Amino acid sequence: MDGNGRWGTKRGLPRSHGHNKGVIVLKNIIKLAKKLGIKVLTVYAFSTENWSRPVEEVNFLLTLFDKVLQKEIAEINKESIRLKFIGDLSPFPENLKQLICESEEMTINNKELTLNVCMNYGGRQELVKAAKELSKKSLTGEITPEDIDEKLFEAELYTKEFSDPELLIRTSGEKRISNFLLWQLAYSEIYITEVLWPEFNETEFIKAIIDYQSRNRRFGGIESISKESLNSSLYH
Site residues for ligand FPP, 14-53, by CB under 6 A, read 19, 22-23, 26, 45-46, 50
- The rounded distance, in Å, linking the Cα atoms of 15 and 111 is 35
Stretch that binds ligand FPP, among 1-9, 101-109, 185-193, 218-226 (CB under 6 A): 1-9
- The rounded distance, in Å, linking the Cα atoms of 41 and 97 is 21
Quick check: 122 binds ligand FPP (CB under 6 A)?
A: no
C-beta of 153: minimal distance to ligand FPP in Å? Answer: 28
Q: Which of 58, 68, 96, 143 binds ligand FPP (CB under 6 A)?
A: 68
Is residue 64 helix, strand or coil?
A: helix
* Residues 147-176 as x/- pattern, contact with ligand FPP by CB under 6 A: -------------------------x----
Q: 150 CB contacts (<8 Å, ≥6 apart)? A: none
Amino acid at 27: K
- List, edge to edge, every strand of the sheet that includes 81-86: 40-47, 113-121, 81-86
Quick check: 76 binds ligand FPP (CB under 6 A)?
A: no
Question: Is the Cβ of residue 68 or residue 89 nearer to ligand FPP in the bound state?
Answer: 68
Question: Is the Cβ of residue 116 or residue 184 nearer to ligand FPP in the bound state?
Answer: 116
CA atoms within 13 A on the CB side of 203: 2
Identify each DSSP E strand in 60-149 by its residue range: 81-86, 113-121
Task: Write out the residues near ligand FPP by the rule CB under 6 A.
Answer: 1-6, 19, 22-23, 26, 45-46, 50, 61, 64-65, 68-69, 117, 172
